[in-house]
């Protein structure tokens, strides 16, 4: 075995990783028309994690997922799923992952039961090992098990895709925009079931544009932009990268404009909201809350109520994927 093969083998033997990606590249086209979709991605996901993979449209998320699923051939680098190299151990790697695609790609002439049985057959699941009824019940499709898929609602079709991804009991499930077009009630039951799977040890890799979902469920998050990994941290760690805080005050005094004593102060951005509240934005690294409140008292304002808001995941996402390099650097 050559040196590269030895390194790949050693990486594949990491028992604590569900996904291990090293220097992954993908280039579409050739010559002047070549476009590099992935530019040397290094990423690992521990077993049992609920991991978020975020990025704007065209960032490379779908390309990365499709490489892991065996649907796109990588240009370079290495990747393993549950210890199986996606090139050298294709069959084992594919059995270790279940992908819930964004598109509702189901056969309208199959019933959910037939769709799951067919999927199980494609993965070589023996009859005695199949869990069709169990899975249908888990995703809430027992009553619709023998109805044609074309008669299912959008939310039910989404749950059928989840069921199909589970027929071979993969230890890793990839959710690509899983709740797009799903109503609030179905979204709640969907996440309840996915959380249950994760609690049972299934590794979840989530891509979504609903950042509040990523913030709520993911332990760790990686952000991809223009084919490069621009951030990877715990959810709370990413949120701490945004330095600004927002203080909203309701004062006894009726305010129609920012008091003169608060105009032009370095480090403070003050404004009056349409309902007469005073909002002060400041950097936590440059000023403490007590310092800001002292400025308010110096303006001879009486505080009736206050609230503070810190940066959320959306702020981090925008900062890291902004075309404005200065904005992006602020979140590094």
Burial grade of 6 (CB within 10 A; 0-12, 13-18, 19 or more): exposed
Q: pLDDT at position 319, please?
A: 76
- Dist. CA 70–CA 99, nearest whole Å: 11
Q: pLDDT at position 328, please?
A: 46
Q: Stretch 305-317: mean pLDDT, rounded?
A: 79
Q: Exposed e or buried b for every residue in 289-313, given b needs 16+ CB within 10 A?
A: eeebbebbeebebeeeebeeeebeb
Between β-strands 244-251 and 278-283, what pairing exists: parallel, antiparallel or unpaired? antiparallel
Coil, strand or helix at 252? coil
What does pLDDT average to over the chain? Answer: 86
User: Contact, 23 vs 39, CB < 8 A?
Assistant: no
pLDDT (tens digit, 9 = 90+) per residue, 143-174?
999 999 989 887 788 889 989 999 999 999 99
Q: pLDDT at position 154, please?
A: 78
End-to-end Cα spacing for the chain: 40
DSSP assignment, residue 128? G
Q: pLDDT at position 243, please?
A: 65
Res. 13 pLDDT band, cuts 50 70 90: low
- Dist. CA 27–CA 33, nearest whole Å: 10
Report the Cα 156 to chain-centroid distance in Å. 22
pLDDT (tens digit, 9 = 90+) per residue, 264-294?
777 788 899 998 999 988 877 677 788 888 8
Percent of the chain surpassing pLDDT 90? 48
Q: pLDDT at position 22, please?
A: 96
Percent of the chain surpassing pLDDT 70? 91
Res. 321 pLDDT band, cuts 50 70 90: confident
Torsion sign (Cα): 241, 244, 246, 247: positive
pLDDT surpasses 70 at 9: no
* β-strand partners of 325: none
Q: pLDDT at position 327, please?
A: 45
pLDDT surpasses 70 at 5: no
Q: pLDDT at position 278, please?
A: 93
pLDDT (tens digit, 9 = 90+) per residue, 179-190?
776 677 777 877
- Dist. CA 249–CA 308, nearest whole Å: 9
> Which residues, 6+ apart, have CB-to-CB distance to 332 below 8 Å?
231, 241, 320
pLDDT (tens digit, 9 = 90+) per residue, 237-255?
887 777 677 889 999 988 8
Q: pLDDT at position 237, please?
A: 85
pLDDT surpasses 90 at 108: no
pLDDT (tens digit, 9 = 90+) per residue, 29-43?
988 889 999 999 999
pLDDT surpasses 50 at 6: no
Phi and psi at residue 153, to the nearest 5°: -75, 170
- Dist. CA 95–CA 303, nearest whole Å: 61
Would you list the DSSP string of 5-60? HHHHHHHHT-TTEEEEEEEEEEEES-GGG-EEEEEEEEEEEETT-EEEEE--TTSS
Per-residue CA distances from 5 to 31, 69, 80, 320 (Å) = 29, 22, 13, 35
pLDDT (tens digit, 9 = 90+) per residue, 118-143?
999 999 999 999 999 999 988 889 99
243-310: CATH topology:
Alpha-Beta Plaits (3.30.70)
Q: Stretch 288-313: mean pLDDT, rounded?
A: 83
pLDDT surpasses 90 at 307: no
Instruction: Provide the token pair at 62.
Output: 């779908």
Q: pLDDT at position 311, please?
A: 66
Its pTM stands at 0.75
- Dist. CA 162–CA 2, nearest whole Å: 40
Phi and psi at residue 243, to the nearest 5°: -85, -20
pLDDT (tens digit, 9 = 90+) per residue, 61-80?
999 999 999 999 999 999 99
Per-residue CA distances from 185 to 134, 179, 192, 218 (Å) = 22, 11, 11, 20
Q: Stretch 214-227: mean pLDDT, rounded?
A: 93
pLDDT surpasses 90 at 51: yes
């Amino acid at each position: 075995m050559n040196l590269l093969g030895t390194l790949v083998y050693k990486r594949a033997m990491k028992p604590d990783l569900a996904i291990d990606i090293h220097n992954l590249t993908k280039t579409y086209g050739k010559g002047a028309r070549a476009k590099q979709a992935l530019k040397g991605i290094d990423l690992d996901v521990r077993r049992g994690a609920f991991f978020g993979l975020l990025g704007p449209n065209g960032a490379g998320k779908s390309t990365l997922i499709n490489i892991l699923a065996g649907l796109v051939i990588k240009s370079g680098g290495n990747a393993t799923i549950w210890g199986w190299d996606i090139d050298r151990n294709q069959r084992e790697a594919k059995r270790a992952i279940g992908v819930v695609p964004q598109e509702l790609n189901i056969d309208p002439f199959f019933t959910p039961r037939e769709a799951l049985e067919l999927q199980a057959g494609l993965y070589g699941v023996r009859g005695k090992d199949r869990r069709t009824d169990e899975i249908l019940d888990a995703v809430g499709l027992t009553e619709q098990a023998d109805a044609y898929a074309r008669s299912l609602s959008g939310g039910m079709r989404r749950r059928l895709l989840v069921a199909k991804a589970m027929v071979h009991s993969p230890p890793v499930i990839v959710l690509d925009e899983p709740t797009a077009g799903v109503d609030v009630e179905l979204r709640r039951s969907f996440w309840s079931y996915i959380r249950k799977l994760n609690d049972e040890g299934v590794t979840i890799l989530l891509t979504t544009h609903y950042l509040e979902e990523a913030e709520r469920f993911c332990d760790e998050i990686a952000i991809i932009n223009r084919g490069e990994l621009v951030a990877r941290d715990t959810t709370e760690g990413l949120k701490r990268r945004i330095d600004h805080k927002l203080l909203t005050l309701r004062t006894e005094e009726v305010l129609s404009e920012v008091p003169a004593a608060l105009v032009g102060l370095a480090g403070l951005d003050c404004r009056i909201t349409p309902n007469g509240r005073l909002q002060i934005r400041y950097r936590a690294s440059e000023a403490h809350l007590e310092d800001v409140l002292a400025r308010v008292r110096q303006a001879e304002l009486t505080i009736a109520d206050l609230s503070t808001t810190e940066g959320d995941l959306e702020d981090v996402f925008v900062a890291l994927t902004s075309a404005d390099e200065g904005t992006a650097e602020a979140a590094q």
